Chains A and B, each alone.
Chain A
Amino acid sequence: MSEQRSSEEKNADNKASDQSIRYVNLYETPDKIYTRRITGFFQNIRRYTGLPLIAAYLLLPWLVIDGRPAVLFDLPARKFHVLWMTFWPQDFMLLAWLLIISAFSLFTVTVLLGRVWCGFTCPQTVWTMMFMSVEHIVEGDRNKRIKLDRQGWTFEKISKKTVKHSLWILIGFITGATFIGYFVPIRELLAGLIPFRNDLGMLQIGVSPVAAFWTLFFTTMTYLNAGWMREQVCKYMCPYARFQSVMYDSDTLAVHYDPKRGERRGTRKPTDDYKAKGLGDCIDCSWCVQVCPVDIDIRDGLQYDCINCGLCVDACNAVMDKMKYPRGLIRFTSEDELKTGKTRFIRPRLFGYSFAVLAMISAFSYVLLSRTALSVDVIRDRGARLYRIAGDQVQNVYTIKINNMDDEPHEYSIELDGKYPFELRNYRPMRIEAGEVFTLPLRISIPRSELNTEKAKLKFIVTAQDDPELQAVETTNFIGPAVKKRR
């Protein structure tokens, strides 16, 4: 109801003199949400899943393996270093598999437990929680915050707000710098962000302007997202939020209010015999609304904004304990359970998604384990002629790209394999450095008398001379002069 009142206040000034028509704003600022702080089972889970994730996020860029960062997405060099492995653009398939695995895992979890990803582990939620804690520590609890916002700009208000926003920006900066630390070695980044005077007396920074810009960008975005946008992101922007709702069925565990137990709502003393008054267990204290980060009333039933974070469950259980009523008036349960008292966990959907996850994990593992650190590409020379005749020889020219994805330099030998006695003319084994891509021309020739076709298959077998395991095969065509058809 409070929402409607405030909207009317907003629209009061929009009333035109005309009695039948009035104008309202097409765009509205949503009401600010003041959440009451609550502790309990689910809040603890949120806290203790969030902390290790944040710790991992913050610490990973600082880890060093073999003298280079453990995780580094080196965009200029187009190489992704993850722990002991180096990924190349050619390995993009792996990223696709990984994303598909993540997607199907999300589906599986959603079918079982509803939007728990949103409520418990989503970065948007975790960072919002952090920012809310800062708010709570600096400005006090819900009632104090409301009062603070309503009063004029006193010294106390200005100082509190300044401290709060400074802390927010600081957290934002740590987040942003850490994020860019995955792309630029973080020690260099932090050292390079400090401005210094160069020889000309101008201020400059050591890192590239691009890195500085993105650090600033993510700082700002973190500050805006977790400080100002918060639930707006989940309600209006997030695509996952939209399609997770689609995976709900009547057996999905989600936060529900049990109307059978709760209705009729009403205030009472703990000592009253409320059942005689015809009241249910809900004492209408509105705690469940006050703690809700997306500002909904769960007692109206399941809504699309609900992120399944369980805070209202904690709040209601705390009240029930005080009233000495049994817990679970608001609880994680399913529609079916509310109706029939039973939840069917085993259902085809779950099997389908689980199978998909397993299949994708197998595919991912297979691709990951079967990678060779060598890739070869053969391109026919895009010259004017398809083939060249030199004396009694037919020649084709190819450019071969040898990409040494190993951490060691290698010399590679090239062998030919085909139906015809092709000969490789101008190749000297070359030392190719670790991580180097080298392109070199190859001339393949064959006596004209040996070739009785216009197009022959030809295999290039490239092998590292010091490691026969390191081998790649590429097939291409050899084009020869037209063969005179026998009449």
Chain B
Amino acid sequence: MSTFWSLWIIVLTVVCLALVTWVLFANRKVAVSDDEEPENRTTGHVYDGIEEYDNPLPRWWFNLFVATLVFTVAYLIWFPGLGAWKGIGGWTQENQLEAEQGKALEEYKSSYDVYSQMSIEELVHDGKAMKMATRLFANNCAVCHGADGGGNFSFPNLTDNDWLYGGSPEAIKHTLTQGRNGNMPPWGPILGEQKVAQVSEYVLKLSSQDYDLKLATEGESVFSQNCAACHGAEGKGMHALGAPNLTDNIWLYDGSREGIIHSVRMGLNNHMPAQKDLLREEKIHLLTAYVYSLSFEYE
């Protein structure tokens, strides 16, 4: 907050407070003409012949007003409210958040400690741990990967036993902790439209979809020269690079002819954010077990 705006807020607040105080104190007395007793004055309202006395207001009411003013001043001294003034109470949003987080940590520490000692295989069969992990998944992962981990357009399905980077507990844990960057360069400018169309047709053939025989045959050599380095000679993918298997008809993006052409032409960039700074070790451990368990078939 710049000095100007800080002053702006301070001046506005203080002036308003002073005005309110002045209004309250300036109106403590009312004028009455001498020829009428104040006790018998009415407000002049008449309803069905019932008149309303203009009696003085109770004193405690005035005192309540004063109390609110005192509270305001005390509040503005204690808490940050006046522009850049930090308040002498030392309260900040961050402080409060950390205190709350500390409390939560304290509360769950014991259970996390137990689970951290267990192996992934053991956790999978521990109902309580899995429940905790289910909640963690819903809060941290479901936004992209779907509530059931079934994935979405451009977000991998975690339930189908098809892995970009490998499905071992270690690989999953690595993915969660460090994140992943999947990246395929745009081949359009390199190969030209003709070859893009050919190689895409070949990929259609690989994934056992309907394809044009002539184009696909031409595409095979394009594939082995340019794509096999990552996707493997048979197009089975490579876990080390996160290069997807092109033969299983499971698609992260659009797997139709147009979709494949687009992907080859423009390239793809996929980013799984690293969780190591967002989630603590213990949580990642639990989530690893959960994601690992998702690919089992439960019947």
Contact = CB atoms under 8 A, between A and B. Distances in A.
Contacts of B33: 20-21
A397 B56 contact: no
30 contacts: A3-B39, A7-B38, A14-B29, A20-B35, A22-B32, A23-B31, A23-B32, A24-B29, A24-B30, A24-B32, A25-B29, A26-B27, A26-B29, A27-B57, A27-B59, A28-B58, A29-B59, A232-B58, A232-B60, A236-B58, A383-B146, A383-B152, A384-B153, A395-B150, A397-B146, A399-B138, A438-B134, A439-B138, A441-B149, A443-B150
A388 B150 contact: yes
Given A27-B58, A236-B58, 14 more contacts: A4-B37, A20-B35, A23-B29, A23-B30, A24-B30, A25-B56, A27-B59, A383-B146, A388-B150, A427-B298, A430-B127, A431-B127, A438-B131, A438-B134
Given A22-B34, A29-B59, A430-B127, A397 B148 contact: yes
Interface in A428-467: 428, 430-431, 438-443
Nearest to A443: B148
B127 A397 contact: no
A154 interface: no
A56 B151 CA distance: 58
Interface string B55-79: 0111111100000000000000000
Interface in A393-417: 395, 397-399
Interface string B18-53: 000000000111111111011100000000000000
A399 B28 contact: no
B142 interface: yes
A385 B31 contact: no
A25 B30 CA distance: 6
Please provide the 7 A-B residue pairs with the shortest distance between their CB atoms, ordered closest to farther.
A441-B147, A28-B56, A441-B148, A27-B62, A23-B29, A29-B59, A381-B147
A444 B39 CA distance: 78
B206 to A, nearest CB: 17
Interface residue SS majority, chain B:
mixed
Contacts of A146: none
B247 interface: no
Contacts of B153: 384-385
Nearest to A431: B127
B140 to A, nearest CB: 14
A20 B36 CA distance: 10
A344 B40 CA distance: 37
A28 B135 CA distance: 60
Contacts, number: 104
A383 B30 CA distance: 66
Interface string B138-167: 100010001111101100000100000000
A27 B152 contact: no
Interface string A24-42: 1111111000000000000
A363 interface: no
Interface of B: 27-35, 37-39, 56-62, 127, 131, 134-135, 138, 142, 146-150, 152-153, 159, 298
A29 B59 CA distance: 5
B148 A426 contact: yes
A19 interface: yes
Interface residues on A, range: 35 or more
Contacts of A14: 29
Nearest to A27: B62
A433 to B, nearest CB: 9
A443 B160 CA distance: 13
A11 interface: yes
A390 B248 CA distance: 12
Interface string A122-137: 0000000000000000
Nearest to A442: B148
A96 interface: no
Contacts of A27: 28, 56-59, 61-62
B146 to A, nearest CB: 5
B69 to A, nearest CB: 15
Nearest to B134: A440
Nearest to B28: A26
Contacts of A238: none
B148 to A, nearest CB: 4
Contacts of A63: none
A229 interface: yes
Contacts of B58: 27-30, 232, 236
